[in-house]
């Protein structure tokens, strides 16, 4: 079944991200930007300002003194983290669907996404990623399967069949999507990333999290960490986003991370608590 044309049209007609988000991305791409520049753009949008402050003051960050200004938040958490918060808040606001008929249970879906987010961040910690860059691992993990939302909402009946046949054949869901349609959820997600001009690193995670060896050298570690986290969360059935058959990570990918699979075992113990703290992100929609 040829779907890619339909999906392109659907994504074309999706709302744009708020203009503030484009400005934020612009600022963080410019190496000479200062915290004051970012502060100026965010504070022009009072709703966004309130959301970012709510996240910064949540148990997720565990900063004990109340943070009441964006400038202070940028100093404490870094330009990059605040940018990620603003962008992901806008994306979740647009993607969190409003109870349309669908095949996937969205609570299970978002639990999978949060689980992959917190696991990716734990991997970042394990492999010694700079604290200011770790948040990107969480956000990338949380958004990796965003393409599924579109397929799930617009092709619910076909998706149910694909999920069931992937399950009975014990193949990873994206392979069955590709076999039945001419596009999988990673390709669908890539169209969304293009439409919204998401950063190259996010676009690569969304496109290549099932084929990390195809990502660029520059983003290979991030993409591979999300791929490992996805495998781990599918194996442990933390949440459910339609796939029960994990993609096995290649030796080369483990080498990229400098880890072996056993290194992830300890993560299981803390994941539920981490998911609970991170679930505040899901209240950011609307």
Q: How far is the CB of 207 from Fe ion (least distance, A)?
A: 10
Q: What is the pattern of x (binds Fe ion, CB under 5 A) and - over residues 229-248?
A: -x------------------
Exposure class string for 233-253: b at 16+ Cβ within 10 A, else e: bbeeebbbbbbbbbbebeeeb
Q: What is the pattern of x (binds Fe ion, CB under 5 A) and - over residues 213-232?
A: -----------------x--
CB atoms < 10 A from the CB of 105, how many? 14
Q: How far is the CB of 230 from Fe ion (least distance, A)?
A: 4
CA distance 274 to 117: 10
Dihedral sign (CA 26, 201, 148, 268): negative
Nearer to Fe ion, 204 or 230 (CB): 230
Q: In the numeric block, which tokens belong to residue 273? A: 């608590």
Q: How many CA atoms lie within 13 A of 4 on its CB side?
A: 9
CA distance 223 to 220: 5
Q: Is 177 in the site for Fe ion (CB under 5 A)?
A: no
Q: Is 37 in the site for Fe ion (CB under 5 A)?
A: no
Q: Is 176 in the site for Fe ion (CB under 5 A)?
A: no
Q: How far is the CB of 286 from Fe ion (least distance, A)?
A: 24
Q: Candidates 123-131, 144-152, 198-206, 215-223 — which segment interacts with Fe ion by CB under 5 A? A: 144-152
Three-state DSSP class for 243? coil
Nearer to Fe ion, 74 or 228 (CB): 228
Q: How far is the CB of 110 from Fe ion (least distance, A)?
A: 11
Instruction: Indicate which single residue of 37, 145, 153, 204 sits in contact with Fe ion (rule: CB under 5 A).
Output: 145
Q: How far is the CB of 34 from Fe ion (least distance, A)?
A: 36
Three-state DSSP class for 71? helix
Q: How many residues bind Fe ion (CB under 5 A)?
A: 2
Alpha helices in 155-219 (DSSP H): 156-169, 173-180, 185-195, 200-208
Q: Is 135 in the site for Fe ion (CB under 5 A)?
A: no
Given the rule CB under 5 A, which residues bind Fe ion? 145, 230
């Amino acid at each position: 079944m040829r779907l890619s044309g339909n999906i392109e049209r659907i994504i074309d007609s999706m709302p744009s991200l708020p203009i503030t988000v484009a400005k934020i991305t612009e600022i963080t791409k410019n190496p000479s930007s200062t915290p004051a520049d970012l502060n100026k753009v965010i504070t022009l949008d009072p709703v966004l300002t309130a959301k970012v402050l709510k996240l910064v003051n949540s148990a997720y960050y565990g900063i004990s003194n109340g943070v009441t200004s964006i400038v202070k938040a940028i100093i404490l958490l870094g330009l990059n983290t605040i940018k990620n918060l603003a962008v992901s808040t806008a994306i979740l606001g647009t993607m969190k669907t409003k109870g349309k008929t669908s095949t996937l249970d969205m609570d299970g879906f978002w639990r999978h996404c949060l689980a992959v987010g917190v696991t990716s961040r734990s991997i970042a910690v394990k492999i010694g990623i700079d604290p200011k860059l770790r948040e990107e691992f969480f956000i990338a993990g949380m958004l990796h399967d965003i393409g599924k939302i579109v397929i799930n909402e617009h092709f619910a009946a076909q998706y149910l069949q694909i999920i069931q046949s992937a399950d009975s054949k014990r193949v990873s869901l994206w392979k069955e999507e590709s076999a039945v349609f001419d596009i999988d959820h990673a390709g669908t997600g890539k169209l969304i990333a293009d439409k919204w001009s998401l950063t190259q690193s996010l676009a690569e995670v969304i496109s290549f999290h099932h084929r990390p060896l195809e990502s660029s050298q520059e983003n290979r570690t991030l993409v591979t960490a999300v791929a490992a986290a996805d495998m781990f969360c599918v194996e442990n059935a933390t949440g459910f986003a339609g796939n029960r058959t994990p993609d096995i990570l290649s030796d080369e990918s483990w080498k990229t991370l400098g880890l072996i699979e056993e290194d992830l075992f300890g993560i299981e113990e803390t994941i539920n608590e981490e998911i609970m703290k991170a679930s505040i992100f899901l209240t950011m929609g609307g």
